[in-house]
Chains A and B, each alone.
Chain A
Amino acid sequence: METMTLLGQGFSVALTPTNLMLAVAGCILGTIIGALPGLGPSNGVAILIPLAFSLGLDATAALVLMTSVYYGAMYGGRISSILLNIPGDEPALMTTLDGYPMAKAGRAADALVISGVASFVGALLATFGLILMAPILASIAYKFGPAEYFALYLLAFSTLGGLTGNNQAKAVLAACIGLAIATIGGNSSGTPRLSFDSLYLYDGVNFLVAIVGLFAVTEVFVFIESSGKNTAIGVKIDKITIPVRDIIRTFGTMLRGTVIGFIAGILPGAGASLGSFLAYSGEKAYAKDKSQFGKGDVRGVAAPEAGNNAAAGGALVPMLTLGVPGSGTTAVLLALLMTLNITPGPTLFSDRPEVVWGLIAALLISNVVLLILNVPMVKIFVKILMVPPWVLLPGVTMVSFVGIYSISSSWFDLLLMIGFGTLGFFLRKLDIPTVPIILGILLGGHMEDALQRAMVISGGEWQYLFSSKIAIGLWIAAVVGFVAPMFLRKFLKQPDAVPD
C-alpha cells in the first residue's frame, strides 16, 4: 500500500490553494484550447510553456498547470467536432463521424454530454493505469545502462513515423533535422562545435523556440493560406440534459475504448490520434448492428472520446518513466520538464516523488473539474467557439511571441522562431512530420551522451551496444517498429490523421 501513501502525499501537494487554482485555470484554458479549431494540445501547451516559465512557478505548480491544460485540451477537442464538424484537435477527428450527425439531428447536447462522460471515464481510468504501470516500468528502467538507453531512444525515433505517417524516409529525415539541431553549440563534454562562430548559437538552439515556431507560427501560415476555405455551419444546442439511458448503454463502449486507447497511448509514437482511431474502429468491429455508425450512433462518440483521453494518460507513462514521449504533446511536456530542470526517467520516481505523485493527484483532481466544466457548463465553451479567426489568430501569434521574448529577451530567438515557422510550413506541405524534429532536439543530447558513455565503458567497442538482452530486445523492437508500418498501412487505410 505504499502507492496509497505516496498518492496521499501527492494530494497534499496538489490540494494547496495555489496548485488547486492552477489546476482549475489549466482545465479552463485547456478546454478552450482544445475546442478552438486550429489550436491543438501540442500548440496550446507549447505556447503556454514560456509563459509558465517566466511566471516563476515552481516545478510542481508548472506541471500541474500544464498537465491540466493537456487533459483539458483532450476534453475540449470534441466540442467543435460535434458542433462545427471541424475537429478541435487531431485526436477529435473521429468524433466528427458520429458527433456531427447527432448534432444535425438535434441531439447536440446529448452528444456533448455522452462524449464528456466518455472523456471522463477514459481519462480517469487511464490515470489509474498510470499509477499502476508507471512504477513497474520505472523498476525495469532502473536496469538500463547507456547501451539500453541508446537503443530506447532509437526505438522512440523509429516508431514515431508509425502508422500515422505516410513515408518512413520522411520521418527519418525529420528526426535527423532535430538531432542535427541538437548538436549545435557543443557536446556533453563541453567541446564547442557547429555554432558557425555565431555568439547566438554558442549555447545551441533553445528547444522552446523551435517548438513554438514549428507548432504555432507554422499554424499562422497554414491558416493564412487556407483562410476563407473553412466555412462550417454551426449547430445550435438546446437545454443540457443528462441522457442517462444512453450513458448506461454506452458504458461498455467507454470501457473498451479506454483499454484500447490506453495501450495505444503507452506505445511509443502512437499517441491520442491513434488511440481514438483504434477505439472507434474497434467498437465498430465489435458492434452487432453497425448500420447507424457514421449517421449519429452514440457509441461512435463514446468510443473515440474514451480512447483519446485514455491515450493521453497512457502517453504519460513512457514520458515519465523513460523520458521518451509517445506523442507530440507529451514531447512538448517533456520540453517543459527539461526547462524546469527535471530529468524524467526511472530515477524521477525515487528522487522527486513529490513531483510525480503531486502530478498524478493533480490529474485526478483535473478530471473531476473537467467533468464539471465539460458537462453542465459546456455552453460557456460553445460561446467561445464563436471567436472569429481574425481575432483568434493574431492573438495566438502575439502570445507566442511574448512568451518566447519573455524567456530570452532576444530578437535573434524571435527571428529563429519565425524561421522554424517557415520551415514548418514547407515541411507540412511536403508531408514531413514535425514531431520527430522536436523529439530530436529534445533527446539528441541524451542520445549522444548515452552513446558516448557506452563507448567509454567499452573502450570504443561498438558491439557493446548489443551486449545485453534488454538492449537486443529494444533494437529488434526498433527495427520491427520501423518496418512493420510499411506493411500494415496497406491493411489499415485510415483517414488523413497525423500524430497529435
Chain B
Amino acid sequence: MSDRIFGTLTIVVALAYIASASQIKLPFLVDPLGPRWFPYIIGAVAVLAGLAMVLRPDDEPEWPALMAFGNIGLACLVLIAYALTLRPLGFLMPTALAAGLLSYQIEQRKLQAILTGVGLSGGLFIIFKFALGLGLYGVPKGWLN
C-alpha cells in the first residue's frame, strides 16, 4: 500500500512539475532544446516510474511504531528550532540545547544528556572557532558590545 500511495503522489508531483515547466518564460533566442524540454523528459520518466510503483508495489515496509514516529517528529522539531536560533542566539546555547535533547532522546538519562549538551557545545566551539578558524559567534552578537 505504501508503494501505491507514494507512486500516486509521485505522479501528481511529476505532473505538477511538467505543468510548471510549461510556464517557463522562453528567452528571446531559443536553442533547439530550450529550457523546457529537459524538465519535460524528466517529468515523463518520473510519471512512468510512479506508475510502475502503483502497478507493481513491493512488500509493505516496516514503519516505525507511533511512539518512534513521535520521537522522530520531535527530533525534527529540535533540529528546526536549532536551525532558526543558530544565528540570533549564537553557537553555544542552541547547540547545548539541541545536542542535549537529542542525547536524551537516545538514552533517557537527564544528567548524562545535560553533560553531553554542554560538553559538545563547548568542545565543538573550541574546535570550530580556534582550531579551524570558522567565523562563529558563541553568544548573541549584541552581548559582545
Question: Which residues of A are in contact with B by a Cβ distance under 8 Å?
Answer: 51, 54-55, 166-167, 169-170, 172-173, 176-177, 179-180, 183, 186-187, 189, 191-194, 196, 217, 220-221, 223-225, 227, 388-391, 393-395, 397-399, 401-402, 405-406, 409, 411, 414-415, 417-418, 421-422, 425-426, 429-431, 447-448, 451-452, 455-456, 458-460
Contact = CB atoms under 8 A, between A and B. Distances in A.
Contacts of A192: 25
Interface residues of B, number: 71
Contacts of A176: 14, 42-43, 45-46, 49
Given A176-B14, A451-B33, A393 B102 contact: yes
A169 B10 CA distance: 12
A101 to B, nearest CB: 28
Contact of A395 (B21, B84, B120, B134): B120
Contact of A418 (B10, B38, B46, B76): B76
A262 to B, nearest CB: 32
What DSSP secondary structure best describes chain B's contact surface?
Answer: helix
Contacts of B21: 183, 193-194
Contacts of A395: 99, 120, 124
22 contacts: A55-B132, A55-B133, A170-B49, A191-B35, A196-B20, A224-B75, A225-B68, A389-B106, A390-B116, A394-B98, A394-B100, A394-B116, A394-B120, A405-B86, A417-B83, A425-B72, A430-B3, A451-B38, A452-B31, A452-B33, A455-B31, A460-B33
Nearest to B27: A191
Given A51-B132, A189-B31, A395-B99, A166 B72 contact: no
Contacts of B116: 390-391, 394
Contact of A399 (B58, B62, B124): B124
Contacts of B91: 402
A194 B84 CA distance: 25
Contacts of A397: 79, 98-99, 102
Nearest to B95: A398
A192 B24 CA distance: 8
What DSSP secondary structure best describes chain A's contact surface?
Answer: helix
A389 B26 CA distance: 52
B106 A390 contact: yes
Given A170-B49, A189-B27, A452-B31, A391 B42 contact: no
The 4 closest A-B pairs by CB, nearest first: A460-B32, A414-B83, A169-B52, A176-B46
Contact of B86 (A223, A391, A411): A411
Contacts of B48: 172
B6 interface: yes
A431 B58 contact: yes
Given A169-B53, A391-B120, A411 B33 contact: no
Most buried by B among A179, A225, A399, A425: A225
B102 A394 contact: yes
Most buried by B among A191, A224, A455: A224
A221 B39 contact: no
Contacts of A223: 106
A187 B106 contact: no
Interface in B80-119: 80, 82-84, 86-87, 91, 95, 98-100, 102-103, 105-107, 109, 112-113, 116-117, 119
B64 interface: yes
Contacts of A451: 33, 37-38
Nearest to B56: A169
Nearest to A460: B32
Most buried by A among B37, B80, B103: B103
Nearest to A222: B72
Nearest to B125: A402
Nearest to A447: B38
B50 interface: yes
B35 A189 contact: yes
Nearest to A166: B58
Nearest to B128: A402
Contacts of A452: 31, 33, 38
Nearest to A404: B83
A168 B98 CA distance: 39
B38 to A, nearest CB: 4
